[in-house]
Structure 1
Amino acid sequence: MIATMEYVDILDYSEQLGKMILQSDVMQKYRQTRKQLEEDKEAQQLIQAFIDIKEHYEDVQRFGRYHPDFNEVMKNVRKTKRAMDMNDKVATFKIAERNLQKLLDEISQYVALSVSEQVKAPKDGAALSDGGCGCGSGGGCGCAS
């Protein structure tokens, strides 16, 4: 592709926009809460416990409700996730993460609509699909596509 001045200008504006996002209050709050989360030993233990039970959950999911430990594992997953989500550092981080996602979605929408009404952009943290994950498996993965 031959670089035109217009193309170079677009790249410059994109770089400026990226820098503005990185310097925004929303991004600063995200970084701050992420650092606090990473440094909190209790939160990290809860996250690790959830990761461990989630791996066991994925093994059980292969057999579904016919697995002998299905009910126990499902109960443990909910209990572990609830404990993790109730931690102040995790909850604060999730709020900051949602706010950053909202900012990025708004910027994507603004840029897309400035080009054309037909250009699709992520909305509400979702991918570019119409209600599913967009995997193309026809719902075989459990999504709604």
Structure 2
Amino acid sequence: MLATLERVQILDTAEDIARMIIDSEVAENYRQRLYKMKTDPETQNKINRFTKLKEQYEYVQRFGRYHPDYQTIMKETRLAKREMDMDDNVASFKQAETALQNLLDEISYIIGRSVSESVKVDTGNPFFETKHKVGCSTGGSCGCSA
């Protein structure tokens, strides 16, 4: 019975944490940026253009340099990608997305460490850094607890 009660409490706590994340400023900012990106016609035109060129790019990649339109498609795809990435709505969405991902990574790290210091927490981000990091791979020469 204790194990069942404990599991229910864990699930309740997990739901509380999920609700806090959903109600957070970071998540709200993400939703607003996503809405702006999806409803702006100019931004959508840039995204659609890039998507179509990407399909052509993938087709041309099958043949490589031997395809007659290889250079043209490669150049157009890169230019469309840059134009899409430089769009204010896309850029602000990507920043909001990164902020939300960092929040989720930090929460995962905290939960993992609360279970055990030896739990490996995969954040999915090779550049994820936290102030709780242990070791630096220099053998402790920086003063850390390696």
* Both proteins in one fold, TM over 0.5: yes
Aligned-partner Cα distance in 2 for 1:19–1:125: 27
Aligned-partner Cα distance in 2 for 1:62–1:25: 44
Q: Sequence identity, in percent?
A: 48
Aligned-partner Cα distance in 1 for 2:74–2:47: 17
Q: Which residue of 2 aligns with 1:71?
A: 71
- Please state whether the residue corresponding to 1:4 is helix, strand or coil: helix
* Runs ≥4 residues deviating over 3 A: none
Give the superposed CA RMSD.
1.9
Q: Which runs of 5 or more residues in structure 1 are unaligned? A: 127-145
Per-residue deviation, residues 62-85 of structure 1 (Å, max 9, x unmatched): 222332222111111110011111
Q: Which runs of 5 or more residues in structure 2 are unaligned? A: 128-146
Deviation of 1:125 after TM superposition, in Å, equals 7.3
TM-score scaled by length of structure 1 = 0.79
Aligned-partner Cα distance in 1 for 2:64–2:106: 39
**Aligned partner of 1:44: which letter?**
Q
Q: Which residue of 2 aligns with 1:113?
A: 113
Q: Which residue of 2 aligns with 1:98?
A: 98
Per-residue deviation, residues 110-132 of structure 1 (Å, max 9, x unmatched): 11222232333224279xxxxxx
Bigger Rg, which one: 2
Q: How many residues align?
A: 125
Per-residue deviation, residues 41-96 of structure 1 (Å, max 9, x unmatched): 00000000011001111111222233222211111111001111111111111111
TM-score scaled by length of structure 2 = 0.79
Aligned-partner Cα distance in 1 for 2:93–2:121: 28
